[in-house]
Structure 1
């Protein structure tokens, strides 16, 4: 009986040892696989860090390239504008064959009609060339094409431009506009100020667009300059409460609440000029 029991337990022990060895082998295999996975994870993390650093370098290189492109683009535009320094752009001149074929003579007539003193002073009003732009007529466009005139004398061109800024020019009684000829991108940048320019003029701020496309206003003996339209567009999205919160301070300043819109706008403007550290804050509220 004892021998049978010993044989039974020996058999059980052998079976358990075999199972243990099998489990030990599985454990060792799991440890090896775990170590291999850890090594792979470290490798992937190193690769990710390398890629992240490479991405940062590429972003920095891209930023430098963008800055260089912007600088070169601005330089090209500036050179184009300087290449047009002897030109004037005439807007609103009727689109007629008898005018288009004699643009040089028409320009002389405009000078004679609007600033004859230049002729009296013996200024050189001759032009090298004059042409319509664009070169092809768009049948869907109802307004006449602009006229570009290149003068032989820069000084004469500047005198005509100064006179055109003082008063409305006319051709045979019809109103026309005479402006500096600039690159199309510069003209588009200036057009972006149109709405703000009109509103600022309504408030009596004496707005001016200076080269290349900078808005300047004259208020309280100071000249305020704004380089980008984005400044106004950003502030436009801000809550109107930024101005409403100033009402108590407006009362402290003694500004009456019941005044017409134009005068009230000036009052708000004055207060904002005094209180705001951002010089563009005042204009965004009243222009848009």
Structure 2
């Protein structure tokens, strides 16, 4: 039979048990306190991450909105530039028609330069003076009805009246006359060099060089070529609707044709999918 425990040994065993219980209770409190601190840190970290995600989503929404607005602005600008280009083309066509109609209406007119002011005072009327002036100085027979013929040139290019040169020319439309005046310096240089030239209608210049005739459509084109040939002429730069149209066409957006269907294009991952890489993996 086991010996009965003494009262003293019972007291010792009870003390050991109480100390063990106190140690376990202390460990549990420490573990709970540690878990509580860990949970607080996790919550704080999660709150920071959520705040960053919200900010990121707001930024992403703003960027998408800005992209949409830029796309709409580009569409409006492109439409406006296309409309301006079409209007310039239409304006050029209408201007050419107006100049042609005005030039045709002036075919029966003639301009006389160099007549001294007051020379017509002795005539009963300006009409009588002009008719007498042309008949006497151009040797026009009385049997011929006085008029300007586009098929012939005048017998004389001009004449002297009271010691002053008188020149004759067509009654050009203001637009045509302005363009023809741009050749003034070029003509002076060609006359000085004794190079033959012609000025076809409406405002062109044909120069007969030694190597053959060259036809220029504008004074700018003529001066540019003559400078290359070594002639001392000032370059002419005249703004015209064509150059403005070219500038608009160069600055305009160009639509790029997309090949393939939407299904064939590579899918761009969203920001949620990109963030999956940083997602914490739960431990088993």
Q: Which digits, 9 at most, give the CA deviation of each residue in 1:86-139, with x for residues without a partner?
A: 0001112222271797221221222233211x225x2111xxxxxxxxxxxxxx
Structure 1 residues 72 and 14: alpha-carbon distance in aligned structure 2, compared to 1, 3 A threshold: same
Alpha-carbon distance in 1 for matches of 2:33, 2:167: 114
Alpha-carbon distance in 2 for matches of 1:109, 1:212: 30
Q: Which digits, 9 at most, give the CA deviation of each residue in 1:129-160, with x for residues without a partner?
A: xxxxxxxxxxxxxxxxxxxxxxxx443x765x
In the superposition, the TM-score normalised over structure 1's length comes to 0.63
Matched, 1:207 2:153: no
Structure 2: unaligned runs, 5 residues or longer: 1-21, 235-284
Q: 1:51: which partner in 2?
A: 73
Q: 2:242: which partner in 1?
A: none
Pairwise CA distance, 1:8: 4.6
Structure (1 or 2) with the larger CA radius of gyration: 2
* Secondary structure, counterpart of 1:119 in structure 2: coil
Query: Which has the higher mean CA deviation after the structures are superposed, 46-55 or 191-200?
Result: 46-55
1:200 touches 1:287 (CA, 8 Å); kept in 2?
no
Q: 1:64: which partner in 2?
A: 86
Alpha-carbon distance in 2 for matches of 1:71, 1:200: 33
1:113 touches 1:171 (CA, 8 Å); kept in 2?
no
Structure 1 residues 285 and 54: alpha-carbon distance in aligned structure 2, compared to 1, 3 A threshold: farther
Pairwise CA distance, 1:9: 5.1
More strand per residue: 1
Matched, 1:80 2:102: yes
Structure 1 residues 169 and 158: alpha-carbon distance in aligned structure 2, compared to 1, 3 A threshold: farther
Alpha-carbon distance in 2 for matches of 1:187, 1:79: 15
Q: Which digits, 9 at most, give the CA deviation of each residue in 1:148-204, with x for residues without a partner?
A: xxxxx443x765x53343xx3233443211111111121111111100111022222
Matched, 1:171 2:161: yes
List structure 1 segments (4+ residues) > 4 angstroms apart after TM superposition. 1-6
Q: 1:194: which partner in 2?
A: 184
Q: 1:220: which partner in 2?
A: 210
2:114 touches 2:167 (CA, 8 Å); kept in 1?
yes
Aligned residue pairs, count: 211
Among 98, 114, 130, which residue is 2:137 paired with?
114
Alpha-carbon distance in 1 for matches of 2:209, 2:79: 47
In the superposition, the TM-score normalised over structure 2's length comes to 0.64
Alpha-carbon distance in 2 for matches of 1:286, 1:100: 47
Pairwise CA distance, 1:211: 0.8
Alpha-carbon distance in 2 for matches of 1:216, 1:15: 98
1:110 touches 1:171 (CA, 8 Å); kept in 2?
no
Alpha-carbon distance in 2 for matches of 1:35, 1:285: 69
Alpha-carbon distance in 1 for matches of 2:231, 2:72: 48
Structure 1 residues 283 and 67: alpha-carbon distance in aligned structure 2, compared to 1, 3 A threshold: farther
